[in-house]
Chain A
């Protein structure tokens, strides 16, 4: 018998982080993410780690910056409005080349929005989480087990390429309970380069390390950005993840990530039962974007349908990836409302009739 436990997505993220060596968590409560911080508060003292509720999201991300500078695995989590507040600190961490993990358990926006699940932070996570030339490594899990599997990967990629990584979840994933197996998730281990840059004491044996995002000379700043983009290129080459379902013979390829992709899978099975050839590309990393998978599907598919819990933020990424060779349409609900599999099936039928 496998060794499964029943966990909320938020708790599972916290436990997975601890099991992957994260000993420093700094957060601030916000629905629907709060159980993550609560779990950390209960577990961290028992494993010799630190969970600190900061006075604000801004303080929390800057504590992560400080902790990460010492070379330790550090993490923060929040939900949409809180992640906006963290944006400045995230940009500073990129400028300092510091690894960390940020979890965004998305809720409805803009503004205070609402507490129900949403995917309205796609642009923010993939295009502009902070100022400056930057990317984050962004993973969009679709189940509690996948959240657990991807936390280790997020930390590993963050450490390997010296970049902040983000788990882009949503309220439904954060709150739902599913069986998880932690032992299965820890099987994949990779070599992490030694953190020779960390400000963890010279021991009188080396020159002091300086962690900083300010460059006095524009040429130096430019070079640091060029170097960082070389690393982004490697991330694109080596760390892009996606899942495909029935793409070989699909006329319509749905592109959907996270919780929404699960509703799409139900709709696809229903459509297939009626003889409509529908497939799915599920980006697991939303940055880097699985462009190659979309381009390949565009060779055989007649059209794409993007399904998200927002107003169509991923549509342009699909258009760029397929170089607009195929029509790309959109279906989604927003503001905390979820579509049903029947809603998506109806959309598939509409498109199928239009061919």
Chain B
């Protein structure tokens, strides 16, 4: 079901950041699976210290079944909101030096939640990183390219790191149609132009119209991402 990876990082650390609710976790999980399939040794780190419920730690079983190493905050999905990140995270920077095939995806909390990156900034810079900024036109506070750029700069400010790519993840969840995706293509292009950063890919939350999109827009890279945070209702 999962597409081939649309994005091959050229550095061992792959940071996924963005406005909260922009789809960072779904993008992270999908990328982890795709990169694993392409032969990388993948570690997924849930660095979200702001979101109490829906998070990468929810996908722990799926990750484990696919041979992906997971590192979660000590109190993720418990009844307390203590944003404590374990010492285990340091191991990924050791791996980055030792194993040329390793990729570590850091799934970061939304907006100011990116401050958690600041604590690892020196190690991230030493290891080398790509930083994907995930944005959705259908999130009201980032509904224009300029609003999204403002959010991108805010995240760079909090993390003290620089974004390297943008990801257009414009969707409205289960009700997304092909038209919704097409109507947001300009948004992704404008954000790329305004920020001066290349578009890594356009993610699509439904597999059924991915082929049609790829045929209609051959110069674009579309990537199917499953909704891994879907719950009981």
Least CB distance, B73 to chain A, in whole angstroms: 13
Contacts of A198 in B (CB 8 A): none
**What are 16 contact pairs spanning A and B, CB under 8 A?**
A4-B175, A5-B172, A7-B21, A7-B140, A15-B140, A39-B141, A43-B141, A108-B79, A115-B79, A116-B79, A172-B231, A176-B53, A176-B233, A177-B21, A179-B172, A263-B232
Partner of B173, one of A6, A32, A113, A259: A6
Asked if A262 and B233 sit within 8 Å, CB to CB, the answer is yes
Q: Are A4 and B54 in contact (CB under 8 A)?
A: no
Cα–Cα distance between A266 and B232 once the two chains are bound (Å): 10
| Contacts of B135-150 to chain A: CB distance below 8 A | 136, 138-141, 143
Structural contact, A177 and B173, CB atoms closer than 8 A: yes
Task: Report yes or no: A115 in contact with B54, Cβ–Cβ below 8 A.
Answer: no
Known A-B contacts A115-B80, A175-B54; A7 and B233 likewise in contact (beta carbons under 8 Å) = no
Does B171 belong to the interface (CB within 8 Å)?
yes
Could you tell me how many residues of chain B have their Cβ less than 8 Å away from some Cβ of chain A? 27
A336 at the interface (CB under 8 A from B): yes
Alpha-carbon gap, A335 to B173, bound state (A): 29
| Total residue contacts A-B, CB cutoff 8 A | 77
Instruction: Tally A residues with Cβ within 8 Å of B.
Output: 35
B53 & A171 in contact (Cβ 8 Å cutoff): yes
Which B residues between 189 and 233 are near A, CB-CB below 8 angstroms?
A: 231-233
Contacting pair A35 B20 (CB below 8 A): yes
In Å, the complex CA distance between A7 and B142 comes to: 12
**Interchain nearest-CB distance for B203 vs A (Å):** 13
Task: Tell me whether A4 and B79 are in contact (CB under 8 A).
Answer: no
Residues of B within 8 A of A6 (CB): 21, 136, 138-139, 171-173
Most buried by B among A5, A113, A171, A340: A5
Residue pair B141, A263 in contact (C-beta under 8 Å):
no
Q: Are A5's CB and B52's CB within 8 A?
A: no
Which residue of chain B has its CB nearest to the CB of A12?
A: B140
| A335 to B79 Cα, complex, angstroms | 9
Task: List residues of chain A with CB within 8 A of the CB of B81.
Answer: 31, 115
A269 in the interface, Cβ–Cβ < 8 Å?
A: no
A113 contacts across to B, CB distance below 8 A: 79
B91 contacts the other chain (CB 8 A): no
Assess whether A332 is interfacial by the CB under 8 Å rule. no
Q: How far is the CA of A31 from the CA of B75 in the complex (A)?
A: 14
Tell me the bound Cα distance from A15 to B21 in angstroms. 15
A31 to B52, CA, bound (A): 7
Residue of A6, A8, A266, A336 ringed by the most chain B CB atoms within 10 A: A6
Does B53 contact A172, Cβ atoms closer than 8 Å? yes
List the B residue with the shortest CB-CB distance to A5: B138
Q: What residues on B are CB-neighbors of A166 within 8 Å?
A: none
Nearest opposing residue in chain A for B139, CB measure: A6
Complex Cα distance A113/B180, Å?
41
Instruction: Mark contacts of A313-353 with chain B using CB atoms, 8 A cut-off: 1 yes-contact digit, 0 otherwise.
Output: 00000000000000000000001101011000000000000
How far does the alpha carbon of A6 sit from the alpha carbon of B140 in the complex, in Å?
Answer: 8
The complex places the Cα of A144 from the Cα of B172 at a distance, in Å, of 13
Extra 10 A-B pairs, beta carbons < 8 Å, given A11-B140, A179-B172: A4-B175, A5-B172, A6-B136, A6-B173, A11-B21, A108-B79, A176-B54, A177-B21, A259-B233, A336-B79
CB contacts under 8 Å to A, within B47-95, are 51-54, 79-81
A178 within 8 A of B: yes
Contact of A114 among B21, B54, B80, B232 (CB under 8 A): B80
Interface centre among B143, B173, B175, B232, by most chain A C-beta atoms within 10 angstroms, is B232
CA of A114 to CA of B175, assembled, Å: 32
* Assembled-state Cα–Cα distance A4/B176 (Å): 10
A32 touches B138 (CB 8 A): no
Is A4's CB under 8 angstroms from B52's CB? Answer: no
Chain B residue with Cβ nearest A4:
B172
On whether the beta carbons of A5 and B139 are closer than 8 Å, the reply is yes
Which of A5, A32, A42, A341 has a CB less than 8 Å from the CB of B53?
Answer: A32
User: Smallest distance from the beta carbon of A253 to chain B beta carbons, Å?
Assistant: 21
